[in-house]
Structure 1
Amino acid sequence: MNKVRIGIVGLGNMGTGHAAYLIEGQVNGAVLAAVSDIRPERLAQVKEQWGDGIRTFESPEEMFRSGAIDGVLLCTPHYEHPVQAIDAFACGLHVLVEKPAGVYTKQVREMNEAAAVSGKIYGIMYNQRTNPLYMKLRELIASGELGEIRRTNWIITNWYRSQSYYNSGGWRATWAGEGGGVLINQDPHQLDLWQWATGLMPKRIRAFCSFGKHRDIEVENDVTAYAEYENGATGVFVTSTHEYPGTNRFEISGDRGKIVIEDDKMTFWRLRQPESEFNRVNTSPFAAPEVWKFEIPISAGGAQHKEITQDWTNAILNGTPLLAPGEDGIKGLTISNAMLLSTWTDGWVDLPIDEDLFYDKLQEQIERSAKSRA
């Protein structure tokens, strides 16, 4: 194989965006060979705009079994990702799934298991992993430059969404349609980066989610969560979609100082001597370690979605390791499921979560939603 024939399922905003750069030949070794969408009028537009060189299918199942593609990029609603991925693996296809991996970890775990059995290349569209800021942060932490992590704090409230946004589609901000709110729709990248860059998954979480705060919606749109880690570190994650202007500030404190990412810049307050060492030898009651402030240079780059698709294509053709393996999708989803479960049960949630309990609680929300709409 010298070209990966890619099929796209779902031609909404994301699917159309992926199609555009593939048609323009911006991914080496890949070609858009087919698309699938449940809307006949959208497929007719494809024929008119992109010509007959791209095959069209009214169902993903038909496309998977057509022999026209080698891999599939799934750009469908959240609940459908695992179902379609499992079917694609069964048809011998490589899979790249849009974020989030799914709505609940039990279903995503089944997708991961199907991927492992298939032996196919399985990626997830965590395009923020290509952002040089977070790549540099991961590098600094992994190298020990920051020392052992003691605290993380991410305020990500610049997801402003008006009521008009939520009114633009009946499926938006519903338990049955999207399976959640800000945590499942806006924050999957940050929840992924929180654990990917630091190398830490929480051992337990206590969260407070508000549902429909200042908006007429069902799902969570305001969250404050507190996390604890095995090494004694703690973390706070604050997010919302109703504040304006919002904030995007990620602060990580370690034994050797503090790193802050804000306004697309990284600042490192580095201690000349690790705090633990200073504390051990210091004899002055009000002394503090000497600290140096650096603006960390960040290289250009980070081609986002296109780079993840290129990375996945390279893995298929050359066996190179993935920047965003599909199996990683369950990590950020575990964190968001834990936050919701903590609110629904009004208590601490240990990780890994009780997947059956989360599923049952989610079904309760869906049923309550259906009754209120009846």
Structure 2
Amino acid sequence: MSFVRMGIVGIGNMGSAHAKYLIQNEVPEAQLTAVCDTNPEKREWIRSQSGDSVQFFDTPESLFESGSVDAVMIATPHYSHSELAIKAFRRGLHVLVEKPAGVYTKQVREMNEVAAQSGKVFGIMFNQRTNPLYQKLRDLISSGELGDLKRTIWIITNWYRPQSYYNSGGWRATWAGEGGGVLANQDPHQLDLWQWTTNMLPKRLRAFCGFGKYHDIEVEDDVTAYVEYENGATGLFVTSTGEAPGTNRFEISGDRGKVVIEDGKLTFWRLRISERQFNKEYNGGFGQPECWKCDVPVRGVETGHKGITENWVSAILHGTPLLAPGEEGIRGLQLSNAMHLSAWLDNWVEIPLDEELYLEKLNEKIEASTFVKKSQCAKILDVRGTF
């Protein structure tokens, strides 16, 4: 192939954004050839953007079987990501899924297994991985510059949403419609970056969630989670859609100093010798290691959604390593699932979490959801994860 023929399933906010840059040929080695949506108004919108160069399909299956695409982007509601990706893989198509990978890890694990069996290129739209700040942080940690990690703290409360946002659709902020609140909708990028930059998942966590604490909704809009890692490090994740003004501050402490990302800047407080070495050798009373405040140069430009798409297309055509492999979507989802389960059980949760127990508790929430109507949501309740 000299270029990849691409399809998009779901022309909502994100699907239409992807369609625009593809139609404008901003990904040189890709061509948008087909889209799918159940809304007939989207057909006219696509025609207004592309003329007759893009085919329109009413069902994902008809698009997958059309022979008009080599690869598809899945930009549909959360519950359907895994099922549609599985169908696409089984039709021999490469797949890029929007975040989150799914709603619960059991369905995502099945998607990962089918993806591996297919031999196709599988990516996920973790566009924040293109941010040079987080790439530099990952480099500092993986190179050993920060030493052994001691603590991670991410306060991400600048997700403020008014009640009118939640009122804009009956599916919003419901267990049946979205499968969660701030963790499932706003935080998938941060949950991914938390584990991606540190290359660590906690061994267990204890979470406290406020369900409808600041809004008239049934899912979480306020979360505080404490985690413990295998190496003895601890962490804290605080998030909310009910605080204004909010904060976005990521702090990581290690044996050789501390890194803070805030206000678009990375600052490294670097110890001249490691804290453990100083603690062992220092013979005075009060004292601490010499510390240098370093404004670390961060080079590069965040390429966002388009950058992830370009990388995925290059992986298909040239074997370029993926910046955001689809299989890794389960890692951040495991964190959000574990936080939900911990709050529901009012107890600690080990990681990997009990997937069957989580699904049992989620289905209890779905059955009681205000969005459940037999004509709309019967398929969501299928514990096999199909939609």
1:41 Cα offset (Å): 1.8
Q: Which residue of 1 aligns with 2:56?
A: 56
- 2:159 paired with 1:159: yes
1:372 Cα offset (Å): 8.9
Q: Which residue of 1 aligns with 2:82?
A: 82
Please tell me the residue identity of whatever aligns with 2:280. Answer: R
1:45 Cα offset (Å): 2.5
Q: Which residue of 1 aligns with 2:248?
A: 248
TM-score (norm 2): 0.95
1:48 Cα offset (Å): 3.3
With 49-58 and 350-359 compared, the bigger mean Cα shift is at 49-58
CA contact (8 A) 2:64 2:91 kept: yes
Q: Which residue of 2 aligns with 1:346?
A: 346
Please tell me the residue identity of whatever aligns with 1:278. Answer: F
**What is the CA–CA distance in structure 2 between the aligned matches of 1:361 and 1:370, rounded to whole Å?**
16
1:341 Cα offset (Å): 0.3
- 2:65 paired with 1:65: yes
For structure 1, the 5+ residue unaligned runs are none
1:18-69: CA deviation from partner (whole Å, max 9, x where unpaired): 0111111111210001000011121132223321110000011100000000
SS in 1 for 2:369: helix
1:169-207: CA deviation from partner (whole Å, max 9, x where unpaired): 111000000000000000000000000001111000100
**What is the CA–CA distance in structure 2 between the aligned matches of 1:269 and 1:59, rounded to whole Å?**
54
1:302 Cα offset (Å): 1.3
**What is the CA–CA distance in structure 1 between the aligned matches of 2:229 and 2:106, rounded to whole Å?**
23
**What is the CA–CA distance in structure 1 between the aligned matches of 2:142 and 2:371, rounded to whole Å?**
49
C-alpha RMSD over aligned residues? 1.1
Task: Quote the sequence identity (%).
Answer: 66
**What is the CA–CA distance in structure 1 between the aligned matches of 2:243 and 2:182, rounded to whole Å?**
12
**What is the CA–CA distance in structure 1 between the aligned matches of 2:161 and 2:44, rounded to whole Å?**
32
Instruction: Check 1:372–1:75 CA distance in 2 against 1; reply closer, same or farther (3 A cut).
Output: closer
**What is the CA–CA distance in structure 1 between the aligned matches of 2:235 and 2:97, rounded to whole Å?**
28
Query: 1:192-207 maps to which residues of 2 (within 5 A)?
Result: 192-207=192-207
1:371 Cα offset (Å): 9.0
**What is the CA–CA distance in structure 2 between the aligned matches of 1:356 and 1:61, rounded to whole Å?**
29
Q: Which residue of 2 aligns with 1:93?
A: 93
Q: Which residue of 2 aligns with 1:311?
A: 311
With 182-191 and 295-304 compared, the bigger mean Cα shift is at 295-304
**What is the CA–CA distance in structure 2 between the aligned matches of 1:221 and 1:8, rounded to whole Å?**
30
- 2:205 paired with 1:211: no
Alignment coverage as a number of residue pairs: 374
**What is the CA–CA distance in structure 2 between the aligned matches of 1:370 and 1:29, rounded to whole Å?**
45
Query: 1:328-367 maps to which residues of 2 (within 5 A)?
Result: 328-367=328-367
Q: Which residue of 1 aligns with 2:142?
A: 142
**What is the CA–CA distance in structure 1 between the aligned matches of 2:367 and 2:55, rounded to whole Å?**
39
Q: Which residue of 2 aligns with 1:279?
A: 279
**What is the CA–CA distance in structure 2 between the aligned matches of 1:284 and 1:26, rounded to whole Å?**
62
**What is the CA–CA distance in structure 2 between the aligned matches of 1:146 and 1:44, rounded to whole Å?**
53
1:272-321: CA deviation from partner (whole Å, max 9, x where unpaired): 00000000101112111110001111113111000000000000000111
Q: Which residue of 2 aligns with 1:188?
A: 188
Q: Which residue of 1 aligns with 2:264?
A: 264
Instruction: Check 1:371–1:194 CA distance in 2 against 1; reply closer, same or farther (3 A cut).
Output: closer
CA contact (8 A) 2:176 2:371 kept: no
1:367 Cα offset (Å): 1.0
Q: Which residue of 2 aligns with 1:225?
A: 225
**What is the CA–CA distance in structure 2 between the aligned matches of 1:144 and 1:97, rounded to whole Å?**
32
**What is the CA–CA distance in structure 1 between the aligned matches of 2:137 and 2:49, rounded to whole Å?**
42
**What is the CA–CA distance in structure 2 between the aligned matches of 1:311 and 1:250, rounded to whole Å?**
26
Please tell me the residue identity of whatever aligns with 1:29. Answer: E
SS in 2 for 1:323: coil
1:323-342: CA deviation from partner (whole Å, max 9, x where unpaired): 00000000000000000000
CA contact (8 A) 2:209 2:223 kept: yes
SS in 2 for 1:110: helix
**What is the CA–CA distance in structure 1 between the aligned matches of 2:188 and 2:68, rounded to whole Å?**
31
TM-score (norm 1): 0.99
**What is the CA–CA distance in structure 1 between the aligned matches of 2:237 and 2:45, rounded to whole Å?**
42
SS in 2 for 1:216: coil
SS in 2 for 1:205: strand
**What is the CA–CA distance in structure 2 between the aligned matches of 1:47 and 1:307, rounded to whole Å?**
25
Please tell me the residue identity of whatever aligns with 2:356. Answer: D
- 2:39 paired with 1:39: yes
**What is the CA–CA distance in structure 2 between the aligned matches of 1:51 and 1:319, rounded to whole Å?**
32
SS in 2 for 1:194: helix
Please tell me the residue identity of whatever aligns with 1:17. Answer: A
Q: Which residue of 2 aligns with 1:169?
A: 169
Please tell me the residue identity of whatever aligns with 1:4. Answer: V
